């Protein structure tokens, strides 16, 4: 029980760190990145995101995919539950909830980016979990 709880907490924390780093790097692709995004008004944030080039979104998306994969991997590593898919699905759902909060807090992002992000969390965390189960216990 404690091992599973620790696995979920560690996985969500690791994924959040990886995703946050990728988003920070991705927003630097914009021609005029904001210095303090957290202090901008909602209208300024809404005006900023359309100026971000495709490379910025792809950088952020690659970090999201890497973070979800790492979350699935670390869930399998810590929990030692290789056959159960409950924990990586739970991690994916928690990441979706965090993603919805992110997109509500920072409006103005393209719809394709929002959908790809939210749809990818569960399958990619399952893929990370499955890959870890193959490599850790062949």
- Residue 115's pLDDT band (cuts 50, 70, 90): very high
Note the pLDDT tens digit of each residue in 18-32: 999 998 888 877 776
Structure tokens at 23: 């988003």
CA-based radius of gyration for the chain: 16
In the block, residue with structure tokens 């630097």:
28
Closest to 12 measured CA to CA, from 125, 133, 104, 105: 125
Predicted local distance difference test score (pLDDT) of residue 37: 63
- What pTM was computed for the model? 0.89
Domain boundaries, the chain: 2-136
State yes or no: pLDDT of 128 exceeds 90.
yes
Does 38 score more than 80 pLDDT? no
């Amino acid at each position: 029980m404690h091992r599973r709880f620790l696995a979920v907490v560690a996985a969500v924390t690791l994924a959040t760190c990886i995703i946050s780093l990728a988003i920070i790097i991705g927003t630097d692709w914009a021609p005029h990145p904001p210095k303090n995004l957290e202090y901008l008004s909602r209208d300024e944030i809404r005006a900023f995101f359309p100026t971000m080039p495709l490379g910025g979104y792809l950088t952020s998306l690659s970090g999201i995919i890497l973070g979800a994969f790492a979350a699935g991997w670390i869930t399998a590593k810590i929990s030692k539950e290789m056959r159960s898919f409950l924990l990586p699905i739970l991690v994916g759902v928690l990441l979706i909830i965090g993603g919805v909060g992110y997109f509500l807090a920072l409006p103005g992002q393209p719809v394709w980016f929002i959908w790809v992000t939210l749809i990818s969390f569960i399958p990619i965390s399952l893929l990370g979990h499955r890959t870890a189960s193959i490599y850790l216990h062949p």
